[in-house]
Amino acid sequence: MLYRATDLRDGKQVAIKVPHPEMEADPVLLERFKREEEIGQVLNHPGIVKTYSDETRSRTYMVLEWVDGRLLRTILNEDRRLPVERAIRITQNICDALDTMHKHGIVHRDLKPENVMVDAQDQVKLIDFGIAMKEDARRLTYVNMTAALGTPDYVSPEQVKGGRGDQRSDIYSLGTMLYEMLTGRVPFADENALAALNARVQRDPTPPRELNEAISPELQEIIFRALEREPRHRYATASEMAWELEHQELVGVEERAPKTSSHSARRKLDPKWLLYGVVALIPLLLFGIMLLLSHH
């Protein structure tokens, strides 16, 4: 539960986040709540929401700075897709905030439009560190896959496979957001969440230039690099991605294999064709056995 309040010490507007009683009774969820507060106190960046400490509380709650602006999700719901220059500007600002976070050893792990506030000048605030991870923190046990992974549309392939993820996982999520800002859709959209998760592990997304001709080959290359299935092939840091967004004229466009359609991929793996192959081999197998027995 989130409330708007006034800090009586200085008159500033703040947000008070109160955990649900069920969360307080669950040690894992309560630790997540406390970790979110701790991370907000450690990070000091204009693009990251701050949390304030107070040792005199009578119950568990969190005090955060009040953030003006709109959620990026609200903007996308209204505009569907953004002008190229604006999408790049917002992405660069997110990169700047992520770079500070990652240098402190913290991975957001649930980066999505619902967790980015955007003001009138397109400055951003990253919010909601509920499943963020500190590199030196022990692994928490989660009650369901969604809580452990984040949101299916934005989660990285390595997290789908059960990995904890690192800063390159956040870069994958940011690449997904940039793709959506420019095309009006996420790279792997499916009504079935499990199908959407599986798709990013097995195939490449539709080239964004096929959905928006205003995207340059260099910008498409940047998106592809952020969305590489293998983390080692992605940008190693958010600052690297920000630099290429700033200097697109220096980005080399790689020759990439033609995208295999999901329909073709399904036909290759269709169990029906595998069954036909097995049936065709049975006569040959029987003939071989009979030939062997005749020699004996």
| Residue 289 reports pLDDT greater than 80 | no
| Least confident stretch, 3-12, 22-31, 41-50 | 22-31
Active-site choice (99, 110, 166, 204): 110
* Each residue's pLDDT tens digit, 198-235: 788 888 899 999 999 999 999 999 999 999 999 999 99
- Does the global pTM surpass 0.75? yes
Domains of the chain, by residue range, sit at 2-65, 70-250
Give the other-Cβ count within 10 Å of 93's Cβ: 21
Does 145 have pLDDT greater than 60? Answer: no
Which CATH architecture is the domain 70-250 placed in?
Orthogonal Bundle (1.10)
Angle at 278 between CA 275 and CA 283, to 5 degrees: 135
Summarize pLDDT for 170-209 with one digit per residue, the tens.
Answer: 999 999 999 999 999 999 877 677 777 778 888 889 999 9
Say how many C-beta atoms besides its own lie within 10 A of residue 220's C-beta: 20
Looking at 15-29, 66-80, 153-167, which range is the least confident one?
Answer: 15-29
E strands present in the chain: 2-6, 13-17, 51-52, 62-65, 70-71, 106-107, 116-118, 124-126, 133-134
Instruction: Give the pLDDT band of residue 52 (cuts 50, 70, 90).
Output: confident
CATH label, 2-65, candidates 3.30.200.20, 3.90.1010.10, 3.50.50.60, 3.40.50.2000: 3.30.200.20
pLDDT at 100: 95
Q: Give the amino acid at 228.
A: E
Q: What is the pLDDT of residues 115-127, one digit of tens each?
A: 999 999 999 999 9
d(CA 116, CA 127): 6
110 is known as an active-site residue:
yes
